[in-house]
Amino acid sequence: MKDLKSQASKSTTPGKGGLTPEIQSRIGHQLRAMYDDVVRQGVPDRFAELIKKLDAPGATPQVENGGGSNDNNNGRD
Amino acid sequence: MPLTDSLRDDILAAVPSLRAFAISLSGNADRADDLVQETLLRALANIDSFQPGSNLPAWLFTILRNLFRSDYRKRRREVEDAEGNYAKTLKTQPSQNAHLEFEEFRTALDKLPQDQREALILVGASGFSYEDAASICGCAVGTIKSRVNRARSKLAALLYVDGAEDFGPDETIRAVIGGSGG
């Protein structure tokens, strides 16, 4: 009981959404860290080349469908 | 509008964040890059329907999200074994502790319903306004706000605090303590 009591009194008052500003900013920080890790990798060559290629006059972009996959759609839950 | 050099540059500039969004959605780097590729092809094929002066990243994100959605419906569950794949895709590995925390975060994020996860990422990581996020997801601004709030609460509950979702510890504990009287 003592533990619970001290824990409860320590917690900051949550906002209306039920989150303390501290937790909100922690989530925001981790979210951006995760995201920016990928952003920092820049533009992979394959995409730079793709766009360059399609830029050539007369080039028609072809949307390929990832065909050949087995679609087992047994409507079971 | 026709594909001008500057528009092409803008599309290229959007690629890194498109990838980040795709990885956040799919949890799988290979699949994410396929999604980005398909998004670019679609965008370039439909470039005439892009309104000059409108928000290019939002337009591209909309295409990517729609592709992900239809793809997701097609092959539902591959997404689920994405756990753990994500970290492998990163070129730089964070320190051991940070890495662990990162994995936990990623795992928690994957537990969110898709609607909530994408709303949170668009607003909290991609930096879109609620309005843009709403137009990308094809829903009302209020819907995005409530999805973001629910996503945050759920993440907090999973990661930081027990019961953060309804956050009643004070009342509950007081009631318990008060009730046990001694």
Q: Examine residue B155 and state whether it is found in any structural domain, yes or no.
A: no
Name A48's Cβ contacts closer than 8 Å, sequence gap at least 6: B12
Residues of chain A in contact with residue B50, where contact means CB-CB under 8 angstroms, are: none
Residues of chain A in contact with residue B45, where contact means CB-CB under 8 angstroms, are: 60-61, 63
Do the Cβ atoms of B42 and A63 come within 8 Å?
yes
- Its domain, for residue B63, covers 1-80
Q: What is the 3-state secondary structure (H, E, C) of A5-35?
A: HHHHHHCCCCCCCCCCHHHHHHHHHHHHHHH
DSSP category for residue B126 = S
Q: What is the pLDDT at residue B137?
A: 97
Name B3's Cβ contacts closer than 8 Å, sequence gap at least 6: A54, A55, B44, B47
C-beta neighbour count of A31 within 10 angstroms: 22
The pair of three-digit structure tokens given for residue B168, joined into one six-digit string: 């009643």
- For chains A and B, what is the number of CB pairs under 8 angstroms? 131
Q: Kindly give the parts of chain A with pLDDT less than 50.
A: 1-12, 16, 61-77
Residue burial B30-48, b: 16+ Cβ < 10 Å; e: rest: ebbbbbbbbbbbbbbeebe
Distance between CA atoms of residues B110 and A16, nearest Å? 25
Q: Examine residue B39 and state whether it is found in any structural domain, yes or no.
A: yes
Q: What is the pLDDT of residues B108-128, one digit of tens each?
A: 999 999 999 999 999 999 999
Q: How many domains does chain B have?
A: 1
Q: Examine residue B8 and state whether it is found in any structural domain, yes or no.
A: yes
Q: What is the pLDDT at residue A55?
A: 62
Q: What is the CATH number of the domain that holds B75?
A: 1.10.1740.10
Give burial (CB, 10 Å; 0-12/13-18/19+) of B54. exposed
Q: Which residue of A has its CA nearest to B104?
A: A30
ipTM exceeding 0.85, yes/no: no
Q: Quick one: which of B172, B176, B148 has its CA closest to B162?
A: B172
CA distances from A1 to A8, A12, B54, B171 (A): 11, 19, 58, 14
For the entire predicted model, the pTM comes to 0.71
Q: Kindly give the parts of chain B with pLDDT less than 50.
A: 77, 79-81, 83-84, 87, 91-93, 163-174, 180-182
Q: What is the pLDDT of residues B7-24, one digit of tens each?
A: 889 999 999 999 999 999
Distance between CA atoms of residues B126 and B137, nearest Å? 14
For chain B, where are the E strands, in sequence order? none
Amino acid at B141: V
Do the Cβ atoms of B152 and A27 come within 8 Å?
yes
